[in-house]
Structure 1
Amino acid sequence: MAILHPEKAPQVLTPLPLKQALLEKAGVDYLLVVRDSYNLLSLSPESFVDDFLVKTIAPRAVVEGEDFHFGYGRSGNAQVLASLGKERGFDVFIVDDAEIDFGTGPTKVSSTLIRLMLQSGNAAQAAVALGRGYRLMGRVVKGRGKGTELGFPTANIEPHDQIIPAEGVYAGFVSVADSVEKLCIARQDIPAVFSLGRAKTFICDHPLLIEAHLLAGCGENLYDKFLALDFIDFIRGQRRFGTEEKLKEQIKKDCQKAKQILNV
């Protein structure tokens, strides 16, 4: 999609460095990252198997999901791959779809479903579908300092090219590192409250702000550090407050609610 129709390409759920870390944790010994190209995407299913899989990788076995498609125009599927593998001398294992049930019947887990959950603010459901909290990563940048004035200092995040959950206040965990690569390995689980919104607090709206307030405080300067925000559950939507006192009271309630959700 990013090559043929970049304007339609979906936002990223899991950046490559995080995928690499998750695969390594799962026990993968070697990882080959293939960059999409017009030449690769224009291959027929047979040419893809012969010219890419067999000549480049020479696999003994290939594992794919039920909805796997490959070759020009998505003309090949998992069954076609299995047939070609039998002829070329490698096994093909087709993994059943993962399903979740929130009381309305089994639903197939997909990246599209998870994106819809996040865009709707359903962080808890997204965490179930992912098997972990959705992780948004970014560099800490200088903010307005409003949180510090209110007694609730926040780290302001400039995110990578990832999907951003719906505006609102969330409970979650934070990890801190000096680089994105280290961040993908680190998991410190620092309890926090996240605020995603356009600062509708008083009079006017501002550009989207992504802020994290660490519930236990932080003894180090976080500027230019990299933070990972692991979203666990939605607390409330954004709304405008008439006075700073009303805002402070609500933030206190948000922190108390987050502690209950996170069991801290």
Structure 2
Amino acid sequence: MLSFLSLAKNSRLANSITSIAVGKFDGLHLGHQELLKKLDAHGAILCIEQDNGVLLPKKYRSFYVKYPMFYLQLEIVRDKNDKEFVGFLQSVLPNLKYIVVGYDFRFGKNRFYYPFDLSRYFKGEVIVVNEVFYKKLSVHSGLIKELLLNGNVKQASKLLGRLYGVRGGIIKGQGLGKRKLYATINIQNDGFLLPQEGVYAGFIQLGAQSAESKKYPAVIFVGNRLSTDKSFSIEGHLLGVEVEVKEREAEFYFARKIRNNRKFENLESLKEQICYDINEAYRILKVKHDG
């Protein structure tokens, strides 16, 4: 994770950057990807950070982009006017030719300034990317967050351009699943926005983030274990395979919600429901069921 201010100490890298996309980039969704298409071969990304819930924690964002990504706390530029903001960018990037922003980009105190204000003082070209739609839905992080919080992971993934995933370190569960229910892999959330509590069909990728790593079909649970110890958990059961888990981390990908979280009176009823959930996951994911 690179600080934008650190570029002032790396003149060689700073001088090589000729275009920059400026924004939050907290999800790298379809709208963000359109901005990145406007960068030239010597482009970079400037993420202006706010301390609130994000779709994609910054330590994982570089996996999805080919350009160097730099971070800047909002407080540093929050009160700058248009002249000061442009001057700040050019003081760090002296060979800047293109600034790429979205149609809804705002900056300065009380978000007073608009994209066209950048052109008043920037000698290069300001490229403003129009609103991006997916089937008449405007693609933006706020809507994606709302969809996730309502359990609509399928629609959220359409706007993201990929399945929504939550990554974290693998931790020990309560041990009940393997003994009396179904064996699960448990993870600790590493800063991702969690979807609504419930049971989902999805995939689990074991190990470090990699495009080549296998994704195993799975049924995934997020929420408080109302029928057992009441503790919160993120756990998944692999469909049709037994894997000796040696990795330290995993990512859970959410394809579609199966049902809400609810309490069962006994373990027999819970196991019967989990069996149904597993069969539903097989059906949703179109995975052959040999059982």
Map of 2:220 onto structure 1:
194
Task: Give the C-alpha shift of residue 113 in structure 1.
Answer: 0.7
Map of 2:121 onto structure 1:
84
Map of 2:286 onto structure 1:
263
Aligned pair partner of 1:236 in 259, 262, 284: 259
Instruction: Give 1:91-110 correspondences, 5 Å limit.
Output: 91-101=125-135, 106-110=136-140
Q: Is the 8 A contact 1:18 1:184 kept in 2?
A: no
Alpha-carbon separation, structure 1, partners of 2:212 and 2:143? 27
Map of 2:44 onto structure 1:
none
Please tell me whether residue 154 in structure 1 is matched to residue 154 in structure 2. no
Task: Give the C-alpha shift of residue 66 in structure 1.
Answer: 0.4
Instruction: Give 1:166-181 correspondences, 5 Å limit.
Output: 166-177=196-207
Q: Is the 8 A contact 2:224 2:233 kept in 1?
A: yes
RMSD: 2.2
Gaps of 5+ in 2: 1-23, 25-49
**Change in 2 beyond 3 A, CA 1:55/1:148:** same
**Change in 2 beyond 3 A, CA 1:261/1:84:** farther
Pairs aligned (count) = 239
Q: Which runs of 4+ in 1 moved over 4 A?
A: 184-187
**Change in 2 beyond 3 A, CA 1:219/1:81:** same
**DSSP 3-state at the match of 1:35:** strand
What one-letter code is carried by the residue in structure 2 that aligns with 1:35?
Answer: L
**Change in 2 beyond 3 A, CA 1:42/1:208:** same
Please tell me whether residue 145 in structure 1 is matched to residue 171 in structure 2. no
Map of 1:114 onto structure 2:
144
Map of 1:254 onto structure 2:
277
**Percent of paired sites with the same residue:** 30
Alpha-carbon separation, structure 2, partners of 1:66 and 1:111? 14
Alpha-carbon separation, structure 2, partners of 1:236 and 1:37? 39
Q: Is the 8 A contact 1:154 1:214 kept in 2?
A: yes
Task: Give the C-alpha shift of residue 84 in structure 1.
Answer: 3.1
Alpha-carbon separation, structure 2, partners of 1:118 and 1:41? 29
Gaps of 5+ in 1: none
Q: TM-score, normalised by structure 2?
A: 0.76
Kindly provide the CA deviation profile for residues 84-114 of structure 1, in whole angstroms up to 9, marking residues without a partner as x.
33xx2x112111111233xxxx231111111
Q: Is the 8 A contact 1:21 1:185 kept in 2?
A: no
Q: Is the 8 A contact 1:176 1:186 kept in 2?
A: no
Task: Give the C-alpha shift of residue 116 in structure 1.
Answer: 0.7
Aligned pair partner of 2:55 in 1, 5, 13: 13
Task: Give the C-alpha shift of residue 185 in structure 1.
Answer: 4.8
Map of 2:237 onto structure 1:
213
**Change in 2 beyond 3 A, CA 1:47/1:185:** farther
Kindly provide the CA deviation profile for residues 205-237 of structure 1, in whole angstroms up to 9, marking residues without a partner as x.
623211111113342234x61111111100001
Q: TM-score, normalised by structure 1?
A: 0.83
Alpha-carbon separation, structure 1, partners of 2:117 and 2:74? 22
